[in-house]
Amino acid sequence: MTRLFNDPAAFADEALEGFTAAHRRWVRPVTGGVVRATATPAGQVAVVIGGGSGHYPAFSGLVGRGLAHGAAVGNVFASPSARQIHSVATAAHAGGGVLLMYGNYAGDVLHFGQAAERLAADGVETRTFAVADDISSAAPEESAKRRGIAGDLPVFKAAAAAAEQGLPLEEVLRVAERAGARTRSFGIAFSGCTLPGADHPLFTVPEARMAVGLGIHGEPGIGEEALPTADEAARLLVETLLKELPEDVADPAGQRAAVILNGLGSVKYEELFVVYRRVAALLGDAGVEIVDPEVGELVTSFDMAGISLTLTWLDDRLEELWRAPADTPAYRKGALDAAEPDPDRASVTAAAQDTAVPAAPVVPAASDASRGAADTVLAALDAVARVVDVHADELGRIDAVAGDGDHGIGMRRGSTAAHRAAHDAHGLGAGAGTVLTRAADAWADKAGGTSGALWGTILRSLGTALGDRDAPDAARVAEGVTEASAAVRRLGGAEVGDKTMVDVLVPFADALAAATAEGLPLADAWDRAATTATAAAAGTADLLPRRGRARPHAEKSLGTPDAGAHSLALITRAVHGALLDHH
C-alpha cells in the first residue's frame, strides 16, 4: 500500500518535484519532466525516454550522461501527454535530432507519435522506438504487440551509449532496433500494487499462489501457479526465457547475455540475491556467459511484490554499449570525465518558473452567437466531469478485471482539467470552438494514457466543427461527432468489435447523424443516440479485447463491458441532460 501522499491527484507531480530537488547534480526540471543538468555536446542525438509514474527508477532516474538526455513523466501508470513529451524533447535537443523511446503501450504509442509529429513540424528530425520485451503478452509471431517492461533499460542504454559516441540519428535508431530484437523479459508476482489513495490493490493473488506473466501497471498475470521456492522461481524464469531465443541465436551455449533480475517494488534485495544465485547457475549450465548483471529495482510497479528476469543477447557491438559508462541518479556504471554544467540550468529555476507571472491568456475573437453556444458547451463539460467523478471507482473496477484499473482515475483527471480549462476560456469570452479546443488540450495533458489522447481528439474534432463564428446547429454538431469518430479510429487504430470505446463511438455518431438528418432537434437527436450508446456499451461485455492492456487477458474480460465504452455511454447520457437544461 502507498501510505505517504497528500492529494492522490498531485502524487506524480509532487514525486517529480522531490526527485529533482534531491538530484540537481544530474537533472533539472522542465515542463513535463526532466533533462540532464550537464551540457550535451552540440550535434549529439538526444535520447528522450518516458512513461507513467510509479515505475521508479524508470523513467526520470535514468536521465544522465551515458543514458537518457531527458525523460517525460506522466501521471501514475499513464503515459505523458504529447505536449509534455514535446516540451522535454525540445529542452533536450542539441541539434542532432531526437530519438523518442518508451514501452509499447497504446497510450505511449499515441502520445509519443503525436509529439514526434510536432517536433518534425518544428524542424527537429525525430524518430520513435517502442520497447516490446515481455514474452508473456503476445506470441512470438505477434512480438510487435508485446508490452515493454524491464527490457526498457538495456534497450535505452544501448541507444544512449551510441548517441554518446556521436552516431547520427538513423544509426542510433538501428542500435535501438537491434537491442530491442535481442531482448526478452518474463515476470511473476505474489501480490498486486495499490495506487495512492486506493484502499485495495489492483489485483490480488490467492494465498500460496503466484501470478505468472504480469505487466508493470497492475495488470494481473496471464495465469497462476503454486507459490515456488526461490530456486523454483529462478528455474521458471530462466527456462521460460531460454525457450524463446532471437532468430539469429540457435543455441544459448556460447552466447553472451546482459542479465537483469528486477524487483517490482516490495521484494527485498536479499530475496533477489537468493534468486539470482540460482539464475546465474542455471544460465551457466546452459553455456551462457553473463555480462555485467544487474540485480535490483530497475523498473518497478509501486509496491507490487514480484520479480522479472530480462536477457539481452549480446553481440560485440551491443556488449560494448552495455558496458559503456553511465552516470544517472539511479544507474551508474564505469567512470566518466568531469561534466560541464548546462548553461541553461542557471537561466531559470523551477521555482522561478512556478512563481513567474504568466502572460495574460488570449482567446480568438468570437461572435455573440458562438459565445452563447459556449454556455451550453461549458454546461456539458461540467456534466461530463460530474458523471465521471460519480462513477470513477466503478470505472476502475471494470478496468481492473483485465486491465490496470486506472481508467476511472485517468478520466477523472482529464474531465476535471477539461472543465477547468473550458471555464477559464469561457470567462475570457471564447467561442464554442475555442472552449472545446482548450478543454481538449487540458484533457490530453492531464489524463495522459490512451483515453487522454482519444478524448483530446474527440473534443478537438468537435471544437473544429463548431468554430467561433456561428451558433452551431444540430447538423454541425453531428458532423463534428462523425469526424471525432473517424479521428479516433485513425489515431488509435481500433475498429468496431475490438472491445474499445470505438464500439460505442461509431454507433453513437451514426445514430446522431441519422436523427439530425431526419430533422430532429439536437436534444432529441442526442437522446436517441445516447440510448444507442448505452446498448452498445453493454454489448461489449460479449466481446474479446483485441487491443490495449486488456488484450493479454482477453478471456477474463468476457462478461464485463469495456471501461472506455462504458464511460463514453455514461458521458453521452450526461451531456443529454445538459442539452435539455439549455434547450
| Region for 181 from its dihedrals, namely left if φ exceeds 0, alpha if ψ lies in -120 to 50, beta otherwise | alpha
Return the bridge partners of 100, or none.
48, 128
**Angstrom distance (rounded) from CA 337 to CA 346:** 22
What SS3 state is found at 369?
helix
Type of residue at 91:
A
Alpha-carbon torsion 77, 83, 87, 93, what sign?
positive
Which helix (H) or strand (E) segment is 333 a member of?
strand 332-333
The alpha-helical segments, DSSP class H, found in 429-562 are: 432-447, 449-466, 474-492, 502-517, 522-539
| Backbone φ, ψ for residue 364 (5° rounding) | -65, 155
Q: List Cβ neighbours of 562 (8 Å cut-off, separation of 6 or more).
A: 398, 499, 500, 501, 503, 537, 540, 543, 545, 550
- Torsion, Cα 485 488 492 495, to 10 degrees, reads 0
Return the bridge partners of 130, or none.
102
- Establish how many alpha carbons lie within 13 A of residue 421's alpha carbon, considering only the half-sphere containing its beta carbon: 24
- Which is catalytic among the residues 23, 69, 111, 217? 217
**Angstrom distance (rounded) from CA 152 to CA 176:** 10
**Angstrom distance (rounded) from CA 517 to CA 250:** 63
Return the number of other C-beta atoms located less than 10 Å from residue 344's C-beta: 13
Return the number of other C-beta atoms located less than 10 Å from residue 534's C-beta: 18
**Angstrom distance (rounded) from CA 306 to CA 301:** 9
CA distances from residue 83 to 224, 409, 447 in whole angstroms, order as listed: 40, 20, 12
CA distances from residue 526 to 36, 289, 474, 531 in whole angstroms, order as listed: 50, 65, 9, 9
Residue 407 a catalytic site member? no
The alpha-helical segments, DSSP class H, found in 122-168 are: 152-164
Which helix (H) or strand (E) segment is 89 a member of?
helix 82-92
Catalytic residues, by residue number, are 217
